[in-house]
Amino acid sequence: MSSALDAVQISLVSALQGDQALMEAVSGIYDGPPPRAEYPYVSLSTGASRDWSHKTGAGRLLSIGLTVHDSGDSAARIHQIMAMIEAILEGGVAEPAEWQIVTFAFHRSRILRSATGPWRGLIEYRARCLQN
């Protein structure tokens, strides 16, 4: 049996990889920042799981983060890619075999850049899941 976090992350990545326009806009979607990826790219950045069980079954409250990395001179391209991701995930993700997704919702986004590093756009989602 897979954890709820792993199962929902797999569904999320599958939804993103299934969008041709997004895949043409980025070099790839990775499980964490890869050592030598071409900009722009998307990585799974954070994941947290809390108990959301009830009297008769197991449940999880998940926090899932995606980071868009880009080395451009402005934040314009990162804004476009983040908007594409939000549109793709607006309707949620496919339910994994072992978990029922009760809610899947956008939580927040932000864009950061250090003086010497690339742009980073973080998008966070919350999901509530019950074990089948």
CB 132 within 8 A of CB 56: no
Tokens read off for 50: 């809390």
pLDDT at 131 over 60: yes
Structural domains present in the chain:
4-131 (3.30.2000.30)
63-89 pLDDT, tens digit each = 999 999 999 889 999 999 999 999 999
Q: Reduced to 3 states, what is the DSSP secondary structure of residue 29?
A: strand
2-24 pLDDT, tens digit each = 799 999 999 999 999 999 999 99
In the 8-state DSSP scheme, what is residue 21?
A: H
Q: Which amino acid is at 120?
A: R
Q: pLDDT category, 47, cuts 50, 70, 90?
A: confident
